[in-house]
Structure 1
Amino acid sequence: MVQAWYMDESADDPWRPHRAEPSRPVDLEQLRKLGVLYWKLDADKYENDPELEKIRKERNYCWMDIITICKDKLPNYEEKIKMFYEEHLHLDEEIRYILDGSGYFDVRDKEDKWIRISMEKGDMITLPAGIYHRFTLDEKGGCWGLVPTL
């Protein structure tokens, strides 16, 4: 199951967990109240997964592409990693499904505090339009296989 928590105020290495002290976990209901939805799927069968197909149909997602975030596969890797970690928002819903690897999505709550969502293979989230967010790899430093699905 996905884990989420309020972050500390440190500007150190973004790949670290940055858990606030004392720890302040965030559950799925709190994320739902922010409009962040979560599913756990079988990433090994994403091409023919009936559960993913059902979600896509219910939410009218009609296309997807795969982004591999890895030094040897993503052009301008260092630049892209910095760009992904810059706080931003979108005018449309953002959907991310992790096919491989692990990392973090950070979202701002209603009081502008950062919540870190630890994501790994099989995790899928949607972020509502207009929510400030960013993402990065974690200390494992592996590759992410991301499917932006819309």
Structure 2
Amino acid sequence: MVPKPENKLTAWYVNEPEKVLDAQRIKQIMGDGAEIYETSSYEDAIVTLECIRQRKKIRYEDRLHLSPHKEDYVSMIDMFRREHKHPDEEVRYFERGTGFLDVRDKSDRWLRVQVRAGHLLVLPPQIYHRFSPATQQEELVIHRLFEDVDAWTADFRDEEGDQ
């Protein structure tokens, strides 16, 4: 899979935006189990998702559509913006839209990952993170894969941790 040049995943530390990191460095910072794919088409992403699904024995998937035209948009975005972690890996494919996935490194610093359509990420379990759309009018479609539950569960960190 060869990503389009404009689809390269990049990240930077929130307090050092001028130091842009590539996908390899991002995976190192996220730790063991982190995976990053920069797919070139929807079909390519579906094939990659199927490989991940089989390799990790994933039994449930949903497709989250976040739109400013939906009643629950603000409450959903507010929830995803809160710092949290999951007991299982987080597998996400960004089908549409652009946003920022902030991930805590081992020193508790925020790494900001810019995600857009075509990016597919696997975060290790128990890694604190938060998500924000790039703009308040951003429409997002995200595929979420779960090991064996059909519900999103999160352990939210206190409000001070969001800083």
Fold conserved between structures, TM > 0.5: yes
CA 1:136–1:123 in 2, change beyond 3 Å: closer, same or farther? Answer: same
- TM-score normalized with structure 2 length: 0.74
Query: Structure 1 residue 56: deviation in Å?
Result: 1.8
| Contact kept? 2:101, 2:130, Cα under 8 Å | yes
- TM-score normalized with structure 1 length: 0.80
Question: 3-state DSSP class of the match of 2:84?
Answer: coil
How many aligned residue pairs are there? 136
| Contact kept? 2:89, 2:124, Cα under 8 Å | yes
Query: Structure 1 residue 24: deviation in Å?
Result: 2.0
Q: Which runs of 4+ in 1 moved over 6 A?
A: none
Query: Structure 1 residue 128: deviation in Å?
Result: 0.8
> Aligned residue for 1:32?
27
Distance 1:29 1:42 in 2: 18
Question: 3-state DSSP class of the match of 1:24?
Answer: strand
> Aligned residue for 2:144?
148
- What amino acid is aligned across from residue 113 of structure 1 in structure 2? R
Which of 116, 123, 133 is equivalent to 1:137? 133
Question: 3-state DSSP class of the match of 2:54?
Answer: helix
Distance 1:40 1:66 in 2: 19
Distance 1:29 1:39 in 2: 11
| Contact kept? 1:6, 1:115, Cα under 8 Å | yes
Query: Greater strand share, 1 or 2?
Result: 2
| RMSD over aligned Cα atoms | 2.0
| Contact kept? 2:68, 2:136, Cα under 8 Å | no
- What amino acid is aligned across from residue 56 of structure 1 in structure 2? R
> Aligned residue for 2:96?
100
Which 5+ residue runs of structure 1 have no aligned equivalent?
A: 9-19
Which 5+ residue runs of structure 2 have no aligned equivalent?
A: 1-7, 147-163
CA 1:65–1:42 in 2, change beyond 3 Å: closer, same or farther? Answer: farther
